[in-house]
Amino acid sequence: SDKNYILAIESSCDDTGAAVILDNKILSNVVASQKVHEEYGGVVPELASRAHQQNIVPVVDQALKQANISKEDLKAISYTRGPGLMGSLLVGGSFAKSFSQSLDIPLIEVNHMQGHILANFIEDANDVKPTFPFLCLTVSGGHTQIVKINDYLDMEILGETIDDAAGEAFDKAGKILNLPYPAGPIIDKKSKIGDPTKFKFAKPKIDGLNFSFSGFKTSILYFIQKEVKGNPNFIEENLDDLCASIQRSIVDILMAKIKQASDETGIKQIAIAGGVSANSEIRARLKEGEEKFGWKTFIPKFEYTTDNAAMIAIVGQLKFERNLFTDRTAKSVAKYHI
With a CB cutoff of 8 Å and minimum separation 6, the contacts of 155 are 114, 117, 147, 148, 149, 338
First to last CA, the chain: 34
Question: Which of ligand KG4, Zn ion, none does residue 241 bind (CB under 5 to 8 Å by kind)?
Answer: none
Q: Is 29 annotated as a binding residue?
A: no
For residue 279, state whether it binds ligand KG4 (rule: CB under 6 A): yes
For residue 140, state whether it binds Zn ion (rule: CB under 5 A): yes
**Residue number of the CB atom closest to ligand KG4:** 275
For residue 171, state whether it binds ligand KG4 (rule: CB under 6 A): yes
CA proximity to 338, closest of 48, 82, 9, 128: 82
How far lies 80's CA from each of 83, 99, 197, in Å?
8, 14, 41
Q: Is 184 annotated as a binding residue?
A: yes
CB 46 within 8 A of CB 64: no
Q: Is 80 annotated as a binding residue?
A: no
How far lies 60's CA from each of 101, 106, 164, 275, in Å?
16, 17, 32, 23
What is the DSSP track for 16-50? EEEEEEETTEEEEEEEEE--TTGGGTS--HHHHHH
Q: Is 112 annotated as a binding residue?
A: yes
Angstrom distance (rounded) from CA 273 to CA 13: 16
Angstrom distance (rounded) from CA 79 to CA 12: 10
**Per rule CB under 6 A, count of chain residues that contact ligand KG4:** 19
Question: Which of Zn ion, ligand KG4, none does residue 87 bind (CB under 5 to 8 Å by kind)?
Answer: none
Kindly write out the interface string for residues 9-28 of this chain, putting x where it contacts ligand KG4 by CB under 6 A and - elsewhere. Answer: ----x---------------
How far lies 13's CA from each of 48, 181, 191, 227, in Å?
7, 15, 27, 35
For residue 10, state whether it binds Zn ion (rule: CB under 5 A): no
Angstrom distance (rounded) from CA 10 to CA 314: 12
Closest to ligand KG4 by CB, 42 or 133 = 42
Element (H, E) at 249: helix 234-265
Q: Please, what is the minimum distance in Å from the beta carbon of residue 88 to ligand KG4?
A: 11
For residue 281, state whether it binds Zn ion (rule: CB under 5 A): no
Stretch that binds Zn ion, among 128-136, 184-192, 301-309, 310-318 (CB under 5 A): 301-309
Kindly write out the interface string for residues 172-211 of this chain, putting x where it contacts ligand KG4 by CB under 6 A and - elsewhere. Answer: ----------xxxx--x-----------------------
Which of 83, 276, 307, 310: binder of Zn ion (CB under 5 A)? 307
Q: Is 307 annotated as a binding residue?
A: yes
Closest to ligand KG4 by CB, 109 or 307 = 307
CA proximity to 149, closest of 134, 131, 128: 134
A 10 A CB-CB count for 216 gives 23
Closest to Zn ion by CB, 250 or 273 = 273
Cis peptide before 133 (omega within 30 of 0): yes
Stretch that binds Zn ion, among 3-11, 137-145, 279-287, 297-305 (CB under 5 A): 137-145
Positions that interact with ligand KG4 (CB under 6 A)? 13, 140-142, 167, 170-171, 182-185, 188, 274-276, 278-279, 306-307
Annotated binding site, which residues? 112, 116, 138-142, 171, 184, 188, 279, 307
Annotated binding site for substrate, which residues? 138-142, 171, 184, 188, 279
Positions that interact with Zn ion (CB under 5 A)? 140, 307
Annotated binding site for Fe cation, which residues? 112, 116, 307
